[in-house]
Amino acid sequence: MRRESGAAPAALEEPAPVPAPAPLRTVTTASGLVADGVSAWFSGRLVIESVSLEMEASKVTALIGPSGCGKSTFLRILNRMHEVTPGAELAGRVLLDGEDIYGPEMRPTETRRRIAMVFQKPNPFPAMTVEDNVLSGLKFSGKRPRGKEKDDLVEEMLTRAGLFSEVKARLKTLGGELSGGQQQRLCIARALAVRPSVLLMDEPCSALDPSSTRRIEETMREIAEEVTVVVVTHNMQQAQRVSDYCALFLAGENAPGRIVEKGSTKDIFENPKDERTSDYVHGRFG
Amino acid sequence: MSSTVVPAATETPRLGEGGPTPRALRRRSVRHFTATDALVLAGSLGASASLVWVVFYQLTFLAGAAGYVVCTLAVFLAIYYVANRHLFGRMAAADRVVAALATMAAAGVVTALALVVAWLVAHGYHLVSVTFLTRDQKGVLNTQPASAGGISHAIVGSLEEVGLATLIGAPAGVVTAVFLSEVGGRITGLVRTVVTAMSGLPPIVAGLFIYVVLITELHYGFRGFAGSLALAIMILPNVTRTTEEVLSVVHESLREASMALGAPAWRTVWSVVIPTARTGIVTALLLGIARVVGEAAPLIVTIFGSPAMNANPFSGPQEALPLFVFDYRSSSVAADIERAFSAGLVLVALVAVLFLLARIFSAMKPGTVGRLLRPSRHRRQEALS
Amino acid sequence: MSTPRVVTTDHLFEDRLYRAGVKSVGIGTFVLLVAIGAFLLLKSWPAFARHGVISFLTTTGFTTLGHHPSFGVAALLYWSVVIAVVAVVVGVPVAVGTALFISEFAPRRLRAVLVTLIDMLAVVPSVIFGLWGFYMLQPNLVGFARFLSVHLSFIPVFSVHSSVYSSSAFIAGVLVGIMIVPIVCSVAREIFSLAPLGEREGALALGATKATVIRSVVMPFARRGLAGSVMLGLGRALGETVAVAIIVSPSFIISPHILQQGGASIAAFIALRFGTGGQLGSAALLGAGLVLFVFTLVVNLGASVIVNRSVGGRRA
C-alpha cells in the first residue's frame, strides 16, 4: 500500500497522456530484483540451493533448464508465492530495489502487487467478465476505478497486452470464453493493471499454439521497457528471441537445483563457458 | 437392423480424394437388437406372465398386482435364460439375463416414481382450488365436506419456517464449508466427520433436540421458529457438504492467480472462489431447501400444528404442509383424509418448483441430488507440480 | 545459510479476523452435534435412572403412566433393525441394478433422464411416500405377503401367527426400501464409474461379454464401496420416521414374523407417541431418541469411512 501510493502518483504525473496509436507510455517504474543465496525446501527436502541472481531493471531475464530443476520454485520465491504451498520453506534474501521482500515489515499481499505473476496455464477468473478480470487486482486492494478512468485503464492494459483490438467488443463477456492465447494475454493485462515493477512469467506459452506464443513474445518485448520481466521457459528459441539475460538451472540426481551459468543471452547461446550449458542449449540433454 | 446399415456403396470410395458424400457420413449403429432377440424377449415375457397367471393365481393364494409382477419377473428371468442359452449359448444367456436384471431394476424405480406421482395427482387434484389455497381450517367442522376450508395456514407456515431455516442454516453451512475447504486447521478432520455424521441425523432427532432445548428447557413454547431451528439443523450439514465439494472443484490455479495479484485470503474466497462456485452453491441451497420442505418429523415435536392461520412464526403454534398431511391423514373423518391428499399434492408441487428452479437457474447436472446424499470426497485439484 | 527461514504467511489483521470468524463457525457446527447428544442424554436421564440403562435397553414394553411404569427400547430397536434390513434387502438390489443399468447398459440420453428421475425420487417428501405406501402399496402387497406366508412358511421369517397382513414390518420395509434407492444408487453409480477403464477394455478386447466385465472387473473393484453404500442405506432406513409411522401399528413383541401386523421403529414410535405418557413418557421417548441417535451415528460414520476409502482414495 505504502509503496504503491508512492509509485502511482509518479505515474500519473507523467506528462501529456498522448495519442492513442502510441499506447506504450511509461506508466510504471521497472525495478531491479536481486536474489541473494536463495535456497528452498519442500517438506524438508532441499530443492534449490544457494541461488544468487541479479535481474536487471527493464530487461528480460530468462530462466532455462530441464524440468524439475527448481526454476518454477525459484520464480515463486521471487513474489512470495512459494510460502503458499504447505511444507515450503526457504533461506536467503530477495531484494526489490534493495529492500528484502521477506523482511519483517513486508506484507506478502503488497509484495505480490509489486511483483506480479503470470502462470503456465491461463487462469482468468471464470466468473468475471473480461473487464472485471483486468480490474480484479485493483479490486483486491480495495480500489474501484469508475467511469472514464476505468474504461481508459482497461483499454490501456488490454492494449499493452496486445489484446484490446480482439476483445474490445467483448469486454462484458466472461473471461473463460476467450481462446487460450487470448486468455493468457488477459492474464498479462490483469497482472499489469496493478502497475507492478516486475512481471514474473512461468512458462507462459507452454499451453499455447505457435501464433499465440508469438503474440505473447512480442508483448513481453514491448512491456519490458517499463516492467522488469523474468520468464521461465523450456523453449531455447524463445529464450533466445525474448531475453536479454539467461540463467541456466540444473539439478543433479538427488541433488538440489543450482544455477550453472548466467550471463547475457548472446554469451549463453554463442559462447557458453560451461560445457553443460553448451550441451543443454544445443539440445544434447534435458 | 437393416434400416441402420449403410447401403452398399455403388462405387468404391477413393480414399483421400475429395470430400465424402453425405451418404458416406451416415453413422452406423453398432447396437444390434435383431428380430430373433425381440422374439425371445417377447416370448419369455408372455410365457412367464401366462404361467404365473395360471399356476399362481388360480392354484395358489397369490393376489395383488405387486405379487403378480414380482413372480412374473422371476419366472421371466428363468425362461429368458433357458431360451437364450438354447439359442446363443451360456455366455450370451448370462449376459442377456444381467442386462434384463439391470433394466428391470431401472424400470422398477421409474415405475415407483411414476406411481407415487400419478396416485397423488389422481387422489389430490379435485380439491385443489383457489379457495383451498387461500382459506384455513379455522372453525371447519367434522360434518362439513372436504371442500370447506383450505390449507393457506399450512402453506404460509411452511414457507416461513423453511425460509427462516434457510436464513439460519444456509449461511452457517456455506461458512463451515469455507472453513473446511479454504481455511482448515488441526480440527478440520473432526469437523468434517461431525458434519458427515450430522447429515445422517434422523430428522426426528433434530426435532427432539430443539424440543429439549427450546421447549422444555427455555419454555419457549411450540412456535414456527422452533420448527425453523430444527429444519436449520437439517439444512446445515447438507449445505456444508455439497458446498465443500463445489469449492474443492474450483481450480487451485485461480486461488494462486488471486494471491499473486496481492489479494488477502478473505478476498480470494469472497471475490474469486465463491463467485466461481456460485452456481453449484445455489444448486446445493435449492436442493437442501427442497429436501426439508417435505420433512414432517422435526415439526411434529416443535410447532404443534394449528388449524388457524398464524402468520407470526415467533408466537404460538403454527401449521406446516407436511405436518398437515401427517395429522389429517390419521383422522377418522373421510373429508380430512381427502384434504391430506390434496395438501400432499400441493407439497409435491412446491418441491417440484424448487427442483425445477435448481435445474433452470443453476444448470444443475443430473445426479446432483445423489451427490448431496452421499459422503463427500475431499480432493482438491492440484495446480502445483 | 542452509537453515530454513520461517516465513510468516499472514500478517494481515483482516485475514486473521476472517480466519477466526470462519473457524468459529466451523467449531460451532461441531459443538452443535455434541450438544444434541448431551442434551438428549441430560433430559432423558430420568428414564434411564428409573430402572437403569441395561433395563432400558432390554425391556420390551413401553408403559410410562400408572404406578408401575415399565419401559425400554428393546422391541423398538429390534423392529427398527428389522425394517431397515428388509429395506436394504429390497432396496439395494434394485438400486445396484439401476446403477448398473445407468453405467453399463443405458444409451447416453436415457442415462441423463434416469439420473434426473432418481434425483426426483430423492426429493419426494417421506410423508408422501407414507401416504402412497398406506393407500396404494399396502393393498397390493398384502396378497403377496399372504402368498409368501402360505407357501414359504418353512422359512421362519415368512411364518405368521395371525392373519392380519397389513401394517407389517415387511410392508414398511419395502416402502423404506424404495426410499433408500436414490442414495444407494448414487454411491453405486459413482463407484462403477471409477472402475479401471484399462481392465474393462482389456476384458472386452478379449471377447468378454458385458456380464463378464461386470463380474470380473466392475464388481471386485466395487465390492467395498457397495458395502459402504449398503450401510448408508441402512442408516437412512433406521432414521426414517414419518413413512414408517404411517404404515406400522406399534406392538412390543419381539418375533420373527415380519409379514404380520405389528412392530414399530424407534423413530416412528417417537412420532406417534410424542406428547402422551406424561413427564416420564417424554423422558423415555428422549431416551429412545438418544439410542437412535447413537445407533445411526455409528452406522453412518462407518458407512462414510468405507465409502470414502473406496471412492476418495482411488479418485486422485
pLDDT tens digits for A133-151?
A: 999 888 888 788 888 999 9
Highest mean pLDDT (candidates B166-180, C35-49, C154-168): B166-180
Distance CA A1, CA A138 (A): 11
User: How much is the pLDDT for B132?
Assistant: 87
Shared domain check, B238 and B159? yes
pLDDT value at C226 more than 80:
yes
Dihedral angle computed from the Cα positions of residues C260, C289, B193 and B279, in that order, rounded to the nearest 10 degrees: 80
The pLDDT value recorded for residue B383 is 30
Query: Cβ contact (<8 Å) for C18 and B240?
Result: no
Chain A closest CA to C190's CA: distance in Å? 27
Same domain, B314 and B200: yes
Question: Looking at residue B62, what is its pLDDT?
Answer: 65
| pLDDT computed for residue C98 by the predictor | 95
The more confident residue out of B92 and B233 is B233
- Same domain for B83 and B202: no
Q: How confident is the model at residue A19 (pLDDT cuts 50, 70, 90)?
A: very low
- Structural domain includes residue B17: no
**Quick check: is B61 in a domain?**
yes
- What is the signed CA dihedral for C134, C136, C137, C142, rounded to 10 degrees? 90
- Is residue C197 one of the residues assigned to a domain? yes
Question: In which band, very low, low, confident or very high, does the pLDDT at C8 lie, cut at 50, 70 and 90?
Answer: low
What's the CATH code of the domain at C108? 1.10.3720.10
- Tell me the residues of chain B between 67 and 126 that have a Cβ less than 8 Å away from chain C: 67, 70, 91-92, 94-95, 97-99, 101-106, 108-110, 112-113, 115-116, 119-120, 123
Average pLDDT value for chain C:
84
Residue B6, pLDDT score? 45
Is A217 touching C (CB cutoff 8 A)?
no
Residue C300's domain spans which residues?
70-311
Chain C interface, best mutation among B190, B373, B382, by max C CB count within 10 A: B373
B258:A109 CB<8 A: no
Percentages (nearest 5) of helix, strand, coil residues in chain B = 70, 0, 30
Determine contact: B301 vs chain C, CB below 8 A.
Answer: yes
The answer to whether the CB of A274 falls within 8 A of the CB of A262 is no
**Please, are residues C50 and B214 in contact by the beta-carbon 8 Å criterion?**
no
Inside any domain, residue B21: no
- Given a cut of 80, is residue C310 above it in pLDDT? no
Domain count within chain B: 2
All three cell numbers of C253: 413383541
Whether residues B182 and B298 share a domain: the answer is yes
The more confidently predicted of residues A102 and B29 is: A102
In degrees rounded to 5, what are phi and psi of residue A256? -70, 160
* pLDDT score of B24: 58
Query: Does residue C298 sit within a domain?
Result: yes
Task: Please answer yes or no on whether A50 and C1 come within 8 Å at the CB atom.
Answer: yes
- pLDDT tens for B96-143 read 899 999 999 999 999 999 999 999 999 989 888 888 888 888 888 878
User: Are B185 and B114 found together in one domain?
Assistant: no
B261: nearest CB among A84, A85, A194: A194
B residues 271-300 lying closer than 8 A (beta carbon) to C: 287, 290-291, 293-297, 300
Q: Compute the distance between CA of residue C299 and CA of residue C304 in angstroms, rounded to an integer.
A: 9
Residue B133 forms part of a structural domain: no
- Strands A115-118 and C62-63 turn out to be unpaired
Based on the fold, state whether residues B210 and B307 are members of the same structural domain. yes
Average pLDDT over residues A142-171: 89
Same domain (yes/no): B71, B195: no
Is B159 part of any domain?
yes
pLDDT at B352: 92
Query: Tens digits of per-residue pLDDT, C247-291?
Result: 988 887 888 888 888 888 888 888 888 877 677 888 888 888 899
Mean pLDDT of the region A270-278: 89
CB contact under 8 A, A107 and C3: no
Size of interface A-B (CB pairs under 8 A): 72
Residue type, A46: L
Same domain, B99 and B166: no
Output the 3-class SS for A123-138. CCCCCCEHHHHHHHHH
pLDDT higher than 60, residue A12 = no
Residue B369 pLDDT > 80, yes or no?
A: no
In the structure, what pLDDT confidence band is assigned to residue B190 with cuts at 50, 70 and 90? confident
Write the pLDDT tens digit of every residue in B283-339.
Answer: 888 888 888 898 999 998 888 888 888 888 888 888 999 999 999 988 888 889 999
Instruction: Tell me if B201 and C12 make a contact (CB, 8 A cut-off).
Output: no
pLDDT on residue A7: 41
Residues A84, C9: C-beta atoms closer than 8 Å: yes
Domain count, chain C: 1
- Say yes or no to pLDDT of A247 above 60: yes
Q: Which residues of B62-87 are buried (b: 16+ CB within 10 A; e: fewer)?
A: bbbebbbbbbbbebbbebbbebbbee
Test the C interface: residue of A100, A109, A111, A258 with most C CBs within 10 Å: A109
Q: Within 10 A of C215 (CB to CB), how many other CB atoms are there?
A: 15
Interval C160-181 mean pLDDT: 89
**CB-based contact B276 A127, cutoff 8 Å:** yes
DSSP H or E segment with residue A40: strand A33-42
Beta-strand relationship, A115-118 and A198-202? parallel
Tens of pLDDT along B151-181?
999 999 999 999 999 999 999 999 999 999 8
Return d(Cα A124, Cα A130) in angstroms, integer. Answer: 8
B237-283 pLDDT tens trace: 888 988 888 888 888 889 999 988 888 888 899 889 998 888 888 88
Radius of gyration of chain B, Cα coordinates, nearest whole angstrom: 28
Cβ neighbours for B95, distance < 8 A, ≥ 6 positions apart: C209, C210, C211, C212
Residue contact B197–C307, C-beta within 8 A: no
Give percent of chain B above pLDDT 90: 27
Q: Does B360 touch chain C (CB under 8 A)?
A: no
Q: What is the ipTM metric for this complex?
A: 0.86
The reported pLDDT for the residue numbered C57 is: 84
Residue C189, in any domain of the structure: yes
- Give the structural domain span for B308: 152-371
**pLDDT-derived band of residue A73, with 50, 70 and 90 as boundaries?**
very high
Final residue before a domain boundary, out of B124, B144, B160? B124
Alpha helices, H only, B125-261: 130-134, 152-178, 188-199, 203-210, 224-249, 252-260
User: Would the CA dihedral through B108, B111, B117, B122 be positive or negative?
Assistant: negative
CA-nearest residue of chain B to A67?
A: B385
pLDDT at B373 over 90: no
The answer to whether C101 and C110 are in contact (CB under 8 A) is: no
Residue B383 and residue C13: Cα distance in Å, rounded?
Answer: 28
Mean pLDDT, range A218-236, rounded to an integer: 90
Q: Which of A94, A104, A19 is nearest to A54 (CA)?
A: A94
Q: What is the pLDDT of residue B314?
A: 86
Given this model, what pLDDT does residue C316 score?
A: 32
Instruction: Test A119 with B278 for CB contact under 8 angstroms.
Output: no
Q: In this model, does residue A54 exceed pLDDT 50?
A: yes
At A246 the three-state DSSP class reads strand
Domain containing B355 — which CATH number?
1.10.3720.10
Would you say residue C266 lies in a domain? Answer: yes
- Which pLDDT belongs to residue B23? 56
Q: Is residue C22 part of a domain?
A: no
Q: Is residue C8 situated within a structural domain?
A: no
| Minimum distance, in Å, between the CA of residue B127 and any CA atom of chain C | 17
**Whole-prediction pTM value?**
0.79
Chain C residues with CB inside 8 Å of B203's CB?
A: 239, 241
More confident residue, A242 or C199: A242
Mutate to test the interface with C, among A43, A83, A84, A101 (most CBs of C within 10 A): A83
* Smallest CA–CA distance from A111 into chain B, residue: B262
pLDDT, tens digit, 9 for 90 and up, residues C68-124: 777 888 888 999 999 999 999 999 999 999 999 998 888 888 888 898 898 889 889
| Cell numbers that stand for A146 in this block | 469508475
**How distant, in Å, are the alpha carbons of A168, B67, B195, B348, B369 from that of B230?**
52, 40, 16, 21, 21
Q: Taking a contact as any Cβ pair under 8 Å apart, which residues of chain A between 76 and 135 contact chain C?
A: 80, 83-84, 89-92, 102, 107-109
Last residue within a domain, chosen from B106, B124, B142: B124
- pLDDT value at position B238? 87
- A269-278, B37-46, C11-20: the lowest-pLDDT one: C11-20
Q: Closest chain B residue to C215 measured between Cα atoms?
A: B98
Distance CA B153, CA B168 (A): 22
Closest chain B residue to the Cα of A189, Cα to Cα: B261
